[in-house]
Amino acid sequence: MKELNEGLESYDVITHANEMFVAEELTEDEEKLLDELGIVGESRRKFLGQVGAAGFGMLALQVLTSQEMFAAEGGGFEVASPKADAIENAVKVVMKINGDKKSLNVDSRMTLLDALRERLGLTGSKKGCDHGQCGACTVIVDGERILSCLTLMATCEGKDVTTIEGIASGEKLHPMQEAFIKYDGFQCGYCTPGQICSSVALLDEAEKGEVSFVTENISAKSRSMTLSDDEIRERMAGNLCRCGAYPNIVKAIKEVHRGEETAATWNFATPNNDNVAENKIKEDAQNETV
C-alpha cells in the first residue's frame, strides 16, 4: 500500500510538471486553437497534462494544416501549391479552368482529375472506378468530353477545361441541368456531374454532325443532326448510372436537344386516379403478349 501511494504521488508530480511545461511552451497559434476548441481554464490544464507538449504540437500542426487546405476562397477553396522542389518530377502547367487562368506545379504523373479535386478544390468531378469505365469523372476539354481520370495534367498545357462547376452561368442553371432536375435524371447524384458534362458535349457533337456506331446512312448525314433515342443511348453509353435513371436521362437530353417537352409517363396518386398504376400494369402485360 505504501508503494502504491508513493507511485501515485510521483505520478501527480510528473503530471503537474508536464502541465506547467506545456503551458509555458504554447505558441500563439496553439493558444488560439485551444480557444477555438473551447478548451479553457481547468479543462485546458488537464488536457495539456494528458497530451503532453509533443502530442499537442502535432495535433495543432494537423488542424492548422487542414484549415489552410480547406480555407474558403470565392465560394470554393484552392489548396496552396507545394514548392516545386518538393514535388517529384515537377512540371508547370498553365491552363484555363472554367474560364479562369490557372498555373500549377504538379507531378508529371498527376491526372487531371486529381489536380481538379486535390489541388483546385473542384470536387464536382467524381472519382468512381478510376479506370475510365464509369464516366463519373467526365469533363470538357477544348469542347471535347474526356475522362479526366485517364488524362495527365501535364497534357492540358494551354487548354480550356470546363467542369460541372463551370456549366452554369452564375446563378442561372444550364438548360441541361434544369432538364435533369425536371425529369429526375439522377437519384444518388454521384454520376450526375459526369452525365451532365457528357450530355452538354453530346449536343455539340450533334451540332457538328459527328456520327456514332448506330448512325444510319453515314454518307447522308450533315451538320445539326437530330438524334434518336438509340443515338442518345449509344453516345451516353460511357456514363454509367448505378441507380438506373437511364430513361429519365434520355428524356432530359431529348428535350434540350430537340427543344420539345417529352410527355410524362407517370401520374401522381390522387383520389381521381387511384387505379392508374393498376391500369398501367395491365397495359404493359397486354403489350408484352402482342
- CA distances to 142, 175, 192, 201 from 253, rounded to whole Å, are 21, 10, 13, 11
C-alpha cell of 16? Answer: 503537474
Comparing 170 with 88, the larger pLDDT belongs to 170
Q: Among residues 144, 165, 186, which one ends one of the domains?
A: 165
Residues 97, 134, single domain; the answer is yes
Residue 60 lies in domain: 2-69
Indicate the average pLDDT of the chain: 79
Q: Among residues 127, 146, 165, which one ends one of the domains?
A: 165
Cα 199–chain centre separation: 17
Comparing 27 with 245, the larger pLDDT belongs to 245
Kindly state whether residue 77 falls inside one of the protein's structural domains. Answer: no
Q: What is the pLDDT of residue 221?
A: 64
Residues 44, 117, single domain; the answer is no
In the chain, the percentage of residues whose pLDDT exceeds 70 is 62
Q: What is the pLDDT of residue 22?
A: 46
Report the domain count for the chain. 3
Q: What is the pLDDT of residue 275?
A: 60
User: Which helix H or strand E contains 95, and what residues bound it?
Assistant: strand 90-97
**Contacts for 86 with CB less than 8 Å, ≥ 6 apart:** none
The whole-model pTM stands at: 0.64
Kindly state whether residue 184 falls inside one of the protein's structural domains. Answer: yes
Residues 59, 117, single domain; the answer is no
Residues 160, 97, single domain; the answer is yes
Residues 157, 88, single domain; the answer is yes
Number of Cα atoms under 13 Å in the Cβ half of residue 6: 3
Q: What is the pLDDT of residue 31?
A: 74
Q: What is the pLDDT of residue 290?
A: 45
- Average of pLDDT values for 124-140? 96
pLDDT tens column, 252-277: 999 999 887 776 665 666 666 556 55
pLDDT tens column, 6-59: 554 554 544 454 444 444 566 776 777 767 666 766 676 666 666 665 555 555
C-alpha cell of 126? Answer: 467524381
Q: How many CB atoms within 10 Å of residue 65?
A: 11
Kindly state whether residue 63 falls inside one of the protein's structural domains. Answer: yes
Kindly state whether residue 89 falls inside one of the protein's structural domains. Answer: yes
- Average of pLDDT values for 190-205? 96
- Average of pLDDT values for 195-214? 92
Q: Among residues 146, 165, 184, which one ends one of the domains?
A: 165
Question: d(Cα 38, Cα 173) in Å, to the nearest integer?
Answer: 41
Question: d(Cα 242, Cα 154) in Å, to the nearest integer?
Answer: 31
- Average of pLDDT values for 147-174? 96
Q: Is the distance from CB of 250 to CB of 233 less than 8 angstroms?
A: yes
**Which CATH number does the domain housing residue 135 bear?**
3.10.20.30
Residues 31, 103, single domain; the answer is no
Kindly state whether residue 263 falls inside one of the protein's structural domains. Answer: no
Q: What is the pLDDT of residue 279?
A: 65
Comparing 233 with 81, the larger pLDDT belongs to 233
The residue type at 119: R
Residues 132, 151, single domain; the answer is yes
- Predicted confidence band of residue 136 (pLDDT cuts 50, 70, 90): very high
Kindly state whether residue 93 falls inside one of the protein's structural domains. Answer: yes
Q: What is the pLDDT of residue 100?
A: 95
